[in-house]
Structure 1
Amino acid sequence: MTKKSRPSNKENRAGWIRDTVVKVRDRYHPIVWVHFWLTMSSCITGFMLYPYLVIYMTEQLGASAVAAAGAISFPSLISMFFKLWAGNISDRFGRRPVLMMAPMLQFMVLIGMIFANEVWHFYVLLTLNGLSGNLYLPAENAQIADVVSEKQRTEAYALNNVAINIGATLGPLLGIAAYHLNPPLIFCAEAAIALVTATVVYFKIPETLPKEDQDSTGQTKGKVLPGLGAHFPLYLLILFAVPVYMVEMQMNSTMPLYLKTQFVDYLLVYGTLRTVTGILTAVLQMPVTLWSKRWRAERVVMIGYSLLVAYSLFYGFTPFFWLLVIAEFCWTLTDMLLFPRLKQIVSVMADPQVRARYFSLFDISLSVGKMTAPVLGSVVLVQYGGKALFGGLGVLLLLAGVCQVILVSRVLSADRRKKEQTPEMAG
């Protein structure tokens, strides 16, 4: 009688890996995974492009630092007004048409960038590129909320954050290589990904906006903005999030100029710091999200803002490479904890028929950050130096963080009371 052969350790490891992959894949809706891959691809090319636009315009087109930063800020001014009704398009006509139309607009804009030879060309083209993103992102976030339960939304948005940070890991270093080889290659790469995105949406993403929500939205289609009153907490949430995005925009605009004053190989230092951040987030995002799910949102917001204050102080007052790595770790934890939780809070605040509009309006905080941070940051940096720039951001973040914690606590307490009272009212 022959003994039954036992599986080897190698086979056991392979089986465990296979089972783990299947569990992770099945944990999230297929549409969430499609958005994961599309987001990762577009962020790789996006991080190849945006950090080097200021340098491209100053070195290739002879623009001043302020004029080049203005080309990044100006689209945010236009986008801020566009966002007032951009989400309404997805709520009225569905997610799928918007998710196909926006990348096609982006494709045409990026082809135009290849041939742009004046700074004002970039003012126009970056504005159009920003409008395409303002259409796409609220539809994407709303679609994730359409297909994912409330309890799992933080995880789903965290997974999307992993994709963003994989882009942040690979994009800057690829951008350095492309910039030294042939700068227009960066525009070609992002244009190709935009075309791929539109194609994948056409074949892989169905419509997810429920018919009853389409009907409800149609009845209120004349209302571009949700009114004040009950929706006032959303506007406060937007306001207090602006300093966070001001810090993020320093990374993508004035940070290379600041590092240029501190390091000889500033581009290598910048690319390395961004890569460290991306790797840490890509690896730790989901474990940190699953671990912190038991934390109340108020605690997550408090920790996130506190880490950003530390980040600003490190950059402003101790600009040494290894301390900047620690600062990047502070940013990484903020990125992993704060952004997915804020999106989950927005999804809880919004009724289904205005879900995309809420996400679109929340993105105004990003627009204001983009509009103010590059120009103000470059002016403060040139006139007063890095200590004034990052020290000022640290104070602003401290004040905004305290207000945001109080706001989130009150909003979610009201939501919990409402859910507790609903069964009683039904009975």
Structure 2
Amino acid sequence: MTKNPKSSFRTNVSGVIRDTVMKVRDRYHPIVWVHFWLTMSRCITGFMMYPYLVVYMTEQLGASVVAAAGAISFPSFLSMFFKLWAGNVSDRFGRRPVLLFVPMLQFLMLTGMMFANEVWHFYVLLTLNGLVFNLYTPAESAQITDVVPEQERTEAFALNNVAINIGATLGPLLGIAAYHFNPTLIFGGEAAVTLLTAALVYFKVPETKPDHVEKPAEQVSKGSVFRGLGSHFPLLLLIVLTVPAFMVEMQMNSTMPLYLKTQFVDYLFIYGTLRTTTGILTVVLQMPVTLWSKKWQAKRVVLVGYSLLVAYSLFYGFTPFFWILVIAEACWTLTDMLLFPRLKQIVSVMADPKVRARYFSLFDISLSVAKMTAPVLGSMVLVQYGGKALFGGLAVLLLLAGVCQVILVSRVLSPDSGKKEQAPEMTG
């Protein structure tokens, strides 16, 4: 009997797909995959909820736009101070207790939102939800650092970035459908995900906190540039220099529609197209770009990342034509894929194993500062001086921050600093 060519072709294709899936699955630690799926599900429901909170409170509860926006901004303000010590909890008590109990507490708060009928209810519940979640994220990053070798951590953090962008792409679309069908389903969906998170942590995630870690004898050498300035000074400087990069992202979520309105008639369509394109590109290209750039030194990744951000700002400020903006979005997408996972890997190298969660919690302050300052300052500059001043000023700020960041990373990861960057190794 002769084989059916079509059947043979399908068998070969399915075999290649199966082998590829197995290789990708085996490439990363099982805990990394658990956090990938949890992050993706959490971000899908999170992006279902947060874009429509203002609409929900104004339409369903009769709140003013200012009061509704305040309910979202207020938790970010408190979280910045909470992050100063949030990471200490999992460094002291372990990763597993935090990863287990935080979702259970969030379930109570999200369930409360389903029955909330006053704006102040949302102030309280959103604030509590945001504060306890700030315990979760540094524990998650610290656990990934615990189980993944240093040379593979950029890939692990990049995989998490893929999960976030899947949520950012699918969440708003699902949120529209849920809001029109029954708005309280949005809160119920996220509450269900918190229970799923707690269940998976209970059954699939062991404790990974290192025990009896010996501190290196010469964590900072005599010739180090940071001598006498405190052991945490490099991290604090890294945080400050990362704020301008996150300010670009915050402009996308705040002033960007207002700026595009001054340039295009169909600005909402253009804004939506640019945002959706960015999310899809990140999901598709994140891991190939990460693997391609894995052999680059950290200072090279930082230099390229900040250079792309400068180009993004200049394109938006001085050549606001649609196809140029598409190129600008490509610059941002590459930055998102290259820079932010590598910065988290740098933080993992800088941190002593005893304070990993604390370092990740402190590093997150850079995003909190950007959330607090960028929308207000950006809107003020845009209204008073226009888009050229806004994006031109961002370009200058990013150029200065990028030069300083390259110098910082070079010295932090130099042999004299005691934090030498390891040569990457390919696995799997």
Q: Partner of 1:409 in structure 2?
A: 410
Residue 395 of structure 1: CA displacement? 2.4
Are the equivalent residues in 2 in contact too, given 1:72–1:374 (CA < 8 A)? Answer: no
Listed as ranges, the matches of 1:340-379 within 5 Å are 340-379=341-380
How much has 1:197 moved relative to structure 2? Answer: 1.3
| Equivalent residues of 1:146, 1:209 under 8 A apart | yes
Q: Cα distance, 1:181 vs. partner?
A: 4.7
Alpha-carbon distance in structure 1 between the residues aligned to 2:312 and 2:53: 24
Contact 1:309 1:394 in 2 (8 A): yes
- In the alignment, the residues of structure 2 paired with residue 419 and residue 317 of structure 1 have an alpha-carbon distance, to the nearest angstrom, of 40
Equivalent residue for 1:101? 101
Write out the 4+ residue segments of structure 1 that deviate beyond 6 Å after TM superposition.
2-7
Q: What letter is aligned with 2:304?
A: I
Distance in 1, matches of 2:325 and 2:184, equals 31
For the Cα contact (< 8 Å) 1:154–1:344, is it kept in 2? yes
Q: Distance in 2 between matches of 1:111 and 1:256?
A: 33
Q: Distance in 2 between matches of 1:228 and 1:70?
A: 38
SS at 2:231 equivalent: helix
Corresponding position of 2:171: 171
Amino acid at match of 1:314: F
Identify if the C-alpha distance between structure 1 residues 382 and 104 changes in structure 2 by more than 3 Å, giving closer, same or farther.
Answer: farther
The 10-residue stretch of structure 1 (185-194 or 277-286) with the greater mean CA deviation from structure 2: 185-194
Report how far residue 165 of structure 1 moved.
1.1
Amino acid at match of 1:296: Q
Tell me the equivalent position of 1:242.
243
1: distance between equivalents of 2:57 and 2:268? 16
Task: Please list, as runs of the form range in 1=range in 2, the aligned pairs for 1:143-182 lying within 5 A after superposition.
Answer: 143-182=143-182
1:52–1:161 CA distance, 2 compared to 1 (3 A): same
Name the CA shift for 1:410/1:211 in 2 (closer, same or farther; >3 Å).
Answer: closer
Contact 2:86 2:361 in 1 (8 A): yes
**Contact map agreement 1:69 1:253 (CA 8 A) in 2:** no
**Aligned-partner SS, 2:413:** helix
CA deviation after TM superposition for structure 1 residue 314, in Å: 3.1
Distance 2:51 2:319 in 1: 23
Q: Distance in 1 between matches of 2:417 and 2:3?
A: 57
Query: What's the C-alpha RMSD, in Å, of the aligned pairs?
Result: 2.9
Contact 2:414 2:420 in 1 (8 A): no
TM, length-normalised to structure 1: 0.85
Give CA-to-partner distance per residue, 1:86-109, whole Å, 9 cap, x none. 111001111111112222232233
Measure how far apart 1:274 and its partner are. Answer: 2.2
Deviations 1:322-359 (A, max 9, x none): 43332221111011000110011000001111111111
Distance 1:386 1:70 in 2: 26
Q: Deviations over 1:142-199 (max 9, x none)?
A: 0001111111111111111111111122123333444455544433322222222122
Contact 2:146 2:209 in 1 (8 A): yes
Q: Give the corresponding residue for 1:279.
A: 280
Other-structure match for 1:326: 327
Q: Which runs of 5+ in 2 are unaligned?
A: 216-227, 422-428
Deviation of 1:125 (Å): 3.0
Distance 1:113 1:325, change over 3 A: farther
Equivalent position amino acid for 2:245 in 1: V
Moved more, 268-277 or 16-25: 268-277
Give the match for residue 392 of structure 2. Answer: 391
1:294 equivalent to 2:320? Answer no
Report the counterpart of residue 19 of structure 1 in structure 2. Answer: 19
1:406–1:57 CA distance, 2 compared to 1 (3 A): farther
The 8 Å contact of residues 54 and 65 in structure 2, kept in 1 or not, is answered as no
Distance 2:57 2:264 in 1: 21
Q: Residue 78 in 1 paired to residue 78 in 2? A: yes
Please say if residues 413 and 419 of structure 2, whose CA atoms lie closer than 8 Å, have aligned partners that are also in contact.
no
Contact preservation (8 Å) 2:278, 2:333: yes
Match of 1:220 in 2: none
Which residue number in structure 1 is paired with residue 311 of structure 2?
310
**Cα deviation digits, residues 28-63 of structure 1 (max 9, x gap):** 110100000010111112222334445555666453
| Equivalent position of 1:211 in the other structure | 211
Note the 1:87-98 alignment, pairs <5 A. Answer: 87-98=87-98
SS at match of 1:212: coil
Match of 1:42 in 2: 42
Q: Structure 1: where are the runs of 5+ without partners?
A: 217-226, 421-427
- What corresponds to 1:337 in structure 2? 338
Task: Quote the residue 1:424 is aligned against.
Answer: none
Q: 1:259 to 1:196 in 2, by over 3 A?
A: farther
**Is the contact between residue 75 and residue 371 of structure 1 (CA under 8 Å) also seen in structure 2?**
no
CA deviations over 1:347-397 (Å, ceiling 9, x no partner): 000111111111111111111112222333344444444444333322222
2:228 matched to 1:192?
no
SS of residue in 1 equivalent to 2:296: coil
Task: Give the % identical residues.
Answer: 80
Question: Distance in 2 between the 1:388 and 1:57 partners?
Answer: 34
Aligned 8 A contact 1:250 1:373 in 2: yes
State the alpha-carbon separation in 2 of the partners of residues 173 and 201 from structure 1: 28
